[in-house]
Amino acid sequence: MTVIVLTQCPVGLRGFLTRWLLEISPGVFVGGPSTRIREALWHEVKQYAGNGRALLAYNTNNEQGFAFETHDHKWHPVDHEGLTLIRRPNEQVAKPAVVQRGWSKASRRRRFGNR
């Protein structure tokens, strides 16, 4: 089983993939091509994706039972002791907004202690 997911790719690339795979949802292609055809399709996807992103997942004989490759994704596959994991980029977390302290009794207790 082979799955290719396209995001923001040219329509012509989607049309090309429909020759070999079934488009079950916009940009999601599923099928069972041979290894040689799968590699040729992935080569074409990477070449013609333009500014879009692509993901390829397929069955293989390993511990997980599948493998995947990415093209122009922020998340990248990383081999960790024989398992393929996804490395997500470390994004800066926005600082929370400053909470204004109110004039309620509970707010005064928090600020000044229990008096």
Model pTM?
0.73
Q: Is the residue at 30 inside a domain?
A: yes
User: What's the CATH code of the domain at 51?
Assistant: 3.30.70.240
pLDDT of res. 23: 95
CB atoms within 10 A of CB 20: 17
pLDDT of res. 111: 72
| Per-residue model confidence as pLDDT tens digits over 35-58 | 999 999 999 999 999 889 999 999
Range of the domain at 82: 2-87
Tally of domains within the chain: 1
Given a cut of 50, the residues of the chain with pLDDT beneath it are none
Mean confidence (pLDDT) of the chain: 86
Q: Which two tokens stand for residue 106?
A: 């509970």
CA 21/CA 6 separation, integer angstroms: 13
Q: Is the residue at 92 inside a domain?
A: no
